[in-house]
Structure 1
Amino acid sequence: MLDVLLRALALLCCTAGFAWLALSMESHWEQVRGAQPLPRGTVIALRALGGMALVGSLLLCLRVDHASMAALVWVMSLAASALIVAFTFTWRPRWMAPMLPWVPNQDAGAARKA
Structure 2
Amino acid sequence: MTAAYAAWLGVALAYAGMAALSLAMDRHCEQLTGLREVPVRLRMSLRLAGTALLAAALVPCVMAWGASVGTVAWLGLLSAGALPVALLLPYRPRGAAGLAVLSAVAGCAGLALAFAGLPR
**TM-score between both structures, scaled by the size of structure 1:** 0.78
Superposition deviation, residue 36 in structure 1: 6.8
The answer to whether residue 8 in structure 2 is matched with residue 12 in structure 1 is: no
Structure 2 CA distance for aligned equivalents of residues 97 and 90 of structure 1? 11
Show the counterpart of 2:39: 39
**TM-score between both structures, scaled by the size of structure 2:** 0.74
The residue type equivalent to 2:96 in the other structure is M
Give a deviation string over 1:75-112, Cα, whole Å, max 9, x none. 11111111110001123122134257xxxxxxxxxxxx
Contact 2:16 2:50 in 1 (8 A): yes
The residue type equivalent to 2:46 in the other structure is L
Show the counterpart of 1:85: 85
Superposition deviation, residue 52 in structure 1: 0.3
Structure 1 CA distance for aligned equivalents of residues 46 and 82 of structure 2? 16
Contact 1:17 1:54 in 2 (8 A): yes
Bigger radius of gyration, 1 or 2?
Answer: 1
**Structure 1 consecutive aligned stretches of length 4 or more whose deviation exceeds 3 Å:** none
Count the aligned residue pairs.
Answer: 101
Structure 2 CA distance for aligned equivalents of residues 76 and 53 of structure 1? 15
RMSD between superposed Cα atoms in Å: 2.1
Identity %: 32
Contact 2:19 2:97 in 1 (8 A): no
Instruction: Give the unaligned 5+ runs of structure 2.
Output: 102-120
